[in-house]
Structure 1
Amino acid sequence: MPTTRHVVPAPLRPFVAAAYGYRVPANPAGVHRGLPSRHLTLVVELAGPLRVDGPGPAVAAHAVVGGLHTRPALIDATRPQDGLQYALTPSAAGALLGVPAAELAGRTVDLADLLGRDADRLVEDLTAAAGWPQRFARLDAALLDRLPARPVPVPPEVREAWRLVHRSAGRCRVEDVAAHVGWSRRHLAERFRLATGLTPKQAARVARFEAARRLLTGPGRPPLAEVAARCGYADQPHLAREWKALAGCSVGTWLREELPFVHDGEADGTAPSRA
């Protein structure tokens, strides 16, 4: 899948984990599955409205935002697509989009529902851009304009819990994380959900899924039983059930239908699928 990587300006880096431009052909399967990940997703699709069915109500728009989710976003891939995708950290929801991450959880929304006419102007501006450098510069500028002088900080206990969940690839116990940050499990779950859109248990589930996806898309793909063992699943059937729940299809179907269309960021876990 032809992609162009972009490094955002320093002030955006706490909020944008990765940025890509993409040009993709139609997928013969007719659908692209946007998989759960640790990032919210901002997509500006310039070839035509991006049609996304779930999570949440269906949406069709040139610019969409997907919150953290535990079900696949099914994207109409029956035509070629051309656009930009920014992987956002949970703190970007409040800082750049003006809403708590919890409000976007399990949803894909039209960017215009969050930014109003500014979203339409952004799409027009990017459509008129001469090439990738100008496209990225204009999207960066639009996000920088929205960056408040003093973004509301995420509680340090939540930041530390998030770090532990992903450093362990979801293999840490929630009780241990709560004890480490000095909160009760219940208090951590609520504050964590408000800041990210997922509970610690859900985040750990997504982190294990990301780890499995990295192994499956990396060199020398190991057998599924080994993937399951290395990623903290009870056994191969457990991995198969979780993959079906989170990706909406079997591992084999995803590898056959989606892997040729997965860009570098999706393979290494730095960016999620579109929406």
Structure 2
Amino acid sequence: MSAPRPSTVRQYDDGVDSWSIVAAPAAKALAGLVSSYASYTEKTQSFGARRELASTSGVLIFALDEPLSIVGADGIEIVVKAGEAFIGGAADATSISRALGPQRGLHVFLSAAGLAAVCNAPLAEIANRVLPLSTFRSTVARDLGARLVEARNADEQFDLADQALMHWFADVPVFDKTMHWAMEQFQAAEPAAVADIAKEIGWSRKHLTQRFTTLTGHSPQTYRRLARFGRFTARLMARPTDSLAELAAETGYYDQSHLTRDVQALSALTPGELRASLLPGLGGFRED
């Protein structure tokens, strides 16, 4: 018998809105491609939609209950029903997710290499977009979705996802290691300059920019900016009462005015408005 999978549970219930999330690591065989899973249930009455903020992270979510509407950063809406999934790429603007009833689902946390492997396509093809998973994997996506709907608990969902993803990833091309390294450098807490990364690789800055943009759909400078914004929003969620100036300094902004410009450009909100949209219990950011 295999050892039980370690997991953590996070719950919130104020009598109006409630959600429960069971998180656990993916199988070791998926290391470098899938880091973890989150099985969730949710019922909300005080709000109907969330802001899914600009980010370097892609997303893969299976809907397992009532339909879920998602409007991508490109303004195009898709709706996924029980057993269906959507995939989204790194985005430099906000997407909106709207629950069309009580929600249950499985969130698969993928690396850039894992996202490319699921799509079996360049990341640039899904940058700033959300698409049905069936666009890339039709029969196997429907099969996994149906099994996930019938799973009795989170552990069964995680096991089913492990098995399916290991099968999907068996015959995909190896992700560009040089670009993967560059992406990691740009996501670091103290990211190197684009010119320094190019020099380390042995390329010109122009060549790095062309290769990086062709692969990811975003320039190195935009990617660095998105990573910094992601660090700020993560700190804001974890420490919502801290001063914005302090959070700005901790996450790589020169000053609060620099933070304000970035937040407005990437979320269409001021930092204060973004903080005001925070949901309790690490629930994300509300849209309405």
Give the alignment's TM-score, normalised by structure 2. 0.82
Matched residue of 1:2: which SS?
Answer: strand
Moved over 4 A (4+): none
Matches within 5 A, 1:114-133: 114-133=136-155
Give ranges in structure 2 of 5+ residues lacking alignment.
1-18
Residue equivalent to 1:189: 209
In 2, Cα distance between the equivalents of 1:182 and 1:252?
42
Taking only aligned residues, the RMSD between alpha carbons, in angstroms, comes to 2.4
Residue equivalent to 1:270: none
2:256 maps to which of 231, 236, 243: 236
Query: Which letter maps to 1:249?
Result: L
In 1, Cα distance between the equivalents of 2:95 and 2:236?
20
Shift of the alpha carbon at 1:71? 0.8
Could you tell me whether the CA contact under 8 Å between 2:54 and 2:226 is conserved in 1?
yes
Matches within 5 A, 1:1-275: 1-26=19-44, 28-56=46-74, 57-61=76-80, 62-77=84-99, 79-149=101-171, 151-169=172-190, 171-219=191-239, 221-260=241-280, 262=282
Specify whether residues 183 and 27 from structure 1 end up closer, same or farther in structure 2 by C-alpha distance, changes over 3 A only. farther
Matched residue of 2:230: which SS?
Answer: helix
Could you tell me whether the CA contact under 8 Å between 1:32 and 1:258 is conserved in 2?
no
Query: Which letter maps to 1:60?
Result: V
Shift of the alpha carbon at 1:38? 2.9
Matched residue of 1:154: which SS?
Answer: coil
Could you tell me whether the CA contact under 8 Å between 1:27 and 1:77 is conserved in 2?
no
Shift of the alpha carbon at 1:141? 1.5
Give ranges in structure 1 of 5+ residues lacking alignment.
268-272
Write 1 or 2 for the structure with the bigger share of strand: 2
Give the alignment's TM-score, normalised by structure 1. 0.86
In 1, Cα distance between the equivalents of 2:218 and 2:33?
17
Shift of the alpha carbon at 1:43? 0.3
* 1-10 or 244-253, which deviates more: 244-253
In 2, Cα distance between the equivalents of 1:262 and 1:241?
25
User: Percentage identity across aligned positions?
Assistant: 28
Aligned length: 264
Which of these two proteins has the greater Rg computed from alpha carbons?
2
Could you tell me whether the CA contact under 8 Å between 1:30 and 1:76 is conserved in 2?
yes
In 1, Cα distance between the equivalents of 2:104 and 2:94?
21
Could you tell me whether the CA contact under 8 Å between 2:58 and 2:87 is conserved in 1?
yes
